Chain A
């Protein structure tokens, strides 16, 4: 049986307390609380969740790393087969919120 951490954390959206839930254990690494996810964030996990595939897992990265990468994909400063196309769909503010959420609960 998988380990269940008992830690509890709170996330705030628009000043209202919206979630107080335990963090997940091991197993499917991308399973996490979505009720406080900023727009677009949970969709990223479709490609960037599991480790040891040809696509990078995001959990080892810091929020700043993810945000910078998104900015560079958007501007074209960094090349990619696909992320340049995805990044253009998000504003800098959205990318910042997504990066913060994705880097939580490593």
Chain B
């Protein structure tokens, strides 16, 4: 039974009973409007669910049978967590009444308003939501291509890469050197490389205490820097070393066979190397011309509609969301605001000015959490930080507060994954 049927009928019934409502969309006047969502991650899966609740006919295009979550995957790398806790199916979403097309979208015809799937079938839409996440740029860092990522994993999409990095750490001798290279902004999960460094340091301190961890960074500043740096000193002593751009931290080439990171100042050899390369919006956003020359998609901050094409909305990591970071929290919040805008626009109503929230927790150790938060509203064409709100955890908080934030991180993960996949 298709559960979307009753609610669709109800919308139409109530519409008929309400003379005051006028529908600008001919599609909805004839039957439920069709919305196609590309990508079943934190952004797309959330959006599909909330759109379906609005009585729309929603198809979610996603090739994978299960979703592997990046949030908390750094804990998997550090041996603190099982991969099973990162995996979610689309069953509940399908049960709710969202149609799932278990394939990749390979082409968007912007004029005809349809999407071609890998098997050649074509899905027509009244509005399209594009949420393909990121792709690694395997053309951006000399020496770092897909093959190199088998020696120097990125582990920036959770899955086999996560387990590869974990296995390499487990195989490393005590006294070895782990190197992480971090990219320039913007990239997925700004505090992610430093949370990863922290949890790897926790693993090394526990299991291989004579080892070193070196972070080579293309930036001179990073998310929650003061908190991370202080916590590294407090928890891990001299084990963690961070080298920023002006200190010679920018990696300009890697030699995967020898696990060598080349900077402008010299070479560093790793026993385990993790390259977090530059990224761009998922391929379909590039190929359909929705992304600009930066590789990301400019959007209207009220409707999330692509600047390049009316009727196509972009959410999650693929979008240029102004001050909002590329996070799962942000993707989920954008998805709900976007579902609201799409539902209202399909009824001929105007999308209201949204307000968005982001919160990113990072674990510096299993019982030591820190956070950054922000509140955002449209201003000058972008989602912009509201001054005076947000910010990071206090520098002088007690260990009890850090422990509470670690527990809240766990609560956030349970809550959001139940909203998106439960």
The residues of A with any CB-CB pair to B shorter than 8 Å are: 1-2, 4, 6, 8, 13, 16-22, 24, 27-35, 37, 39-40, 42-50, 53-55, 81-82, 85-90, 94
Across the interface, which residues of A come within 8 angstroms of B391, CB to CB? 85
Smallest Cβ distance from A26 to chain B, in angstroms? Answer: 11
CA distance A85 to B360 in the complex (A): 13
- Answer whether residue B14 sits at the interface, using C-beta atoms and an 8 A cutoff: yes
Across the interface, which residues of B come within 8 angstroms of A89, CB to CB? 355, 357, 374-375, 386, 388-390
Across the interface, which residues of A come within 8 angstroms of B332, CB to CB? 46
B397-422 residues at the A interface, CB under 8 angstroms = 397, 401, 404-405, 407-408, 410-412, 414-416, 418-419, 422
CA distance A87 to B371 in the complex (A): 15
Select B49's contact among A31, A86, A87, beta carbons within 8 Å: A31
Please determine whether B408 and A34 come into contact, CB atoms closer than 8 angstroms: no
Interface magnitude class on chain B: 35 or more
Stretch binding the partner chain, chosen from B25-33, B156-164, B342-350: B342-350
Select B336's contact among A13, A22, A43, beta carbons within 8 Å: A43
Tell whether A82 pairs with B359 under 8 Å between CB atoms, given A16-B20, A39-B353. Answer: yes
Please determine whether A8 and B14 come into contact, CB atoms closer than 8 angstroms: yes
Select B354's contact among A28, A39, A49, beta carbons within 8 Å: A39
CA distance A76 to B337 in the complex (A): 29
Please determine whether B390 and A34 come into contact, CB atoms closer than 8 angstroms: no
CA distance A60 to B337 in the complex (A): 24
Please determine whether A33 and B389 come into contact, CB atoms closer than 8 angstroms: no
Cross-chain pairs A/B with CB under 8 angstroms, 7 sampled: A1-B1, A20-B14, A33-B53, A35-B54, A42-B337, A50-B415, A86-B390
Please determine whether B10 and A22 come into contact, CB atoms closer than 8 angstroms: yes
Please determine whether B18 and A17 come into contact, CB atoms closer than 8 angstroms: yes
Tell whether A42 pairs with B386 under 8 Å between CB atoms, given A28-B418, A48-B415. Answer: no
Across the interface, which residues of B come within 8 angstroms of A90, CB to CB? 355, 375, 389
CA distance A32 to B356 in the complex (A): 17
Across the interface, which residues of B come within 8 angstroms of A19, CB to CB? 54
Please determine whether B373 and A17 come into contact, CB atoms closer than 8 angstroms: no
Number of interchain pairs (Cβ within 8 Å): 172
Across the interface, which residues of A come within 8 angstroms of B407, CB to CB? 54
CA distance A30 to B53 in the complex (A): 11
Which of B49, B343, B388 has the most chain A CB atoms inside 10 A of its CB? B343
Tell whether A18 pairs with B11 under 8 Å between CB atoms, given A27-B422, A89-B389. Answer: no
Across the interface, which residues of A come within 8 angstroms of B315, CB to CB? none
Across the interface, which residues of B come within 8 angstroms of A86, CB to CB? 357, 359, 373, 375, 389-390
Residue of A at shortest CB range from B388?
A: A88
Give 16 A-B pairs besides A32-B53, A46-B332 with Cβ atoms closer than 8 angstroms.
A4-B6, A21-B10, A27-B96, A31-B49, A34-B339, A37-B340, A39-B377, A48-B415, A50-B419, A53-B411, A53-B414, A54-B410, A81-B393, A82-B359, A88-B386, A89-B357
Please determine whether B357 and A50 come into contact, CB atoms closer than 8 angstroms: no
CA distance A49 to B53 in the complex (A): 16
Across the interface, which residues of A come within 8 angstroms of B68, CB to CB? none
Please determine whether A43 and B419 come into contact, CB atoms closer than 8 angstroms: no
Please determine whether A85 and B54 come into contact, CB atoms closer than 8 angstroms: no
Across the interface, which residues of A come within 8 angstroms of B10, CB to CB? 8, 20-22
User: Which 8 residue pairs of A and B lie closest in terms of their CB atoms, listed nearest first?
Assistant: A89-B375, A89-B389, A54-B411, A20-B14, A40-B355, A42-B336, A53-B411, A55-B411
Tell whether A49 pairs with B333 under 8 Å between CB atoms, given A22-B6, A81-B408. Answer: no
Smallest Cβ distance from A38 to chain B, in angstroms? Answer: 8
Please determine whether A4 and B3 come into contact, CB atoms closer than 8 angstroms: yes
Tell whether A31 pairs with B375 under 8 Å between CB atoms, given A17-B18, A46-B419, A53-B411. Answer: no
Please determine whether A42 and B389 come into contact, CB atoms closer than 8 angstroms: no
Please determine whether B411 and A47 come into contact, CB atoms closer than 8 angstroms: yes
- Answer whether residue B247 sits at the interface, using C-beta atoms and an 8 A cutoff: no
CA distance A94 to B7 in the complex (A): 29
Across the interface, which residues of B come within 8 angstroms of A31, CB to CB? 49-50, 53, 96, 419
CA distance A47 to B3 in the complex (A): 27
Please determine whether B404 and A81 come into contact, CB atoms closer than 8 angstroms: yes
Which of A29, A35, A42, A47 has the most chain B CB atoms inside 10 A of its CB? A35
Residue of B at shortest CB range from A88?
A: B389
- Answer whether residue B210 sits at the interface, using C-beta atoms and an 8 A cutoff: no
CA distance A35 to B344 in the complex (A): 6
B1-56 residues at the A interface, CB under 8 angstroms = 1, 3, 6-7, 10-11, 14-15, 18, 20-21, 49-50, 53-55
